[in-house]
Structure 1
């Protein structure tokens, strides 16, 4: 349950992120996948993460402090085509450095648009996470925008693809920022990650 959520800081440099002294979970996905909307829905704060109709709005690492206890992080979207190559490479380096070096990161949620067939860019990113040992789970977004059967079909197809890459499919959640679908399950899962991290610190 999220009772309090506040913006802490935005960074272009992972080494300037807040001190890694508490559990941290991060959200990432292709541009315009509904990341900011989902963060706002999870925290019940409409304007917490900036949403935009224009892809590529999030260009920094944004830290939010949740319940004065753990960090939720909004990462830049990947695969945004309409920026120059240098800028794009800069973002990618920033994201990769953050994901590999952030020692208090206990979960990364990769957002997938449930309306689409499996996309190579998402599968490539997941494969990168797997090879780098980044703990990733899937969050399928925008499930309210189509029939349940269409969502199920696309989710199933995507999971089949991940099973080709890994021995088993990752944890996954089907969500809608509009209807609140999947919100409680996702928050429960995050709470477990945070508790697990904290018990590791205390043991």
Structure 2
């Protein structure tokens, strides 16, 4: 899959604001500051398609990006940022649940975790949530440039054990900074899809 065209379409807080053209969707989710915006920019070869904020917890909406005039990448709100109030976190949770429950167009969810750290309780909860709603999940371990090969192998094992991944579920290690793992991730996201390449 080669991404040649990408554009921001809409930010939504409720289902009535979602695109209505029935194109398939691939969602990206992860805790605040895990590198979600940078990853989407890397996948689309657009440095500023998604605004990269220095302030964790800044993405508070569901953002839809039309790719190749064919399908959507969906950027879900980051979670787990302590300085955001409980009521605000609850709103984000309901917003994401609404999306996961009511979106038959959603094909697959990429769950981002930091390859340097053990997945948090929120990561484990989100993984369980995605599986509960019946979606395929791709685990994306970000910031691989921060670890050497041995550390990466060790931490991938920790991620797999903590999330209790099924044997067939892969972990894709990426570095948005060095643009490594991007092709592998695109291959994993679009495996078994019927989108024309």
Map residues 49-198 of structure 1 onto 2, 5 A cutoff: 49-163=50-164, 167-168=166-167, 170-195=169-194
Whether the 8 Å CA contact 2:14–2:95 is kept in 1: the answer is: yes
Distance 1:169 1:188 in 2: 15
TM-score normalised by the chain length of structure 2: 0.92
> What's 1:39 paired with?
40
For each residue in 1:103-155, what CA deviation from the matched residue of structure 2 results, as whole angstroms up to 9, or x when unmatched? 10000000000011232221121122222323221000000122222122111
8 A contact 2:109–2:130 mirrored in 1: no
Rounded to whole Å, the distance in 2 between the matches of 1:144 and 1:20 is 38
In structure 2, C-alpha distance between the alignment counterparts of 1:24 and 1:121, rounded to whole Å: 23
RMSD: 1.7
Where structure 2 has 5 or more consecutive residues not aligned to the other structure, the ranges are none
Task: Give the unaligned 5+ runs of structure 1.
Answer: 199-203
Give CA deviations for 1:76-111 in whole Å, capped at 9, x if unaligned: 011122122221111110011101211100000000
Structure with higher helix content: 1
Shift of 1:46: 0.4
Residue 167 of structure 1 and its aligned partner are, at CA, apart by: 4.6
Contact 1:9 1:64 in 2 (8 A): yes
- Conserved in 2, the CA contact under 8 Å of 1:51 and 1:57? no
Normalising by structure 1, report the TM-score. 0.90
Distance (Å, rounded) in 1 between the aligned partners of 2:25 and 2:193: 8
Give 1:43 shift: 0.4
Moved more, 84-93 or 123-132: 123-132
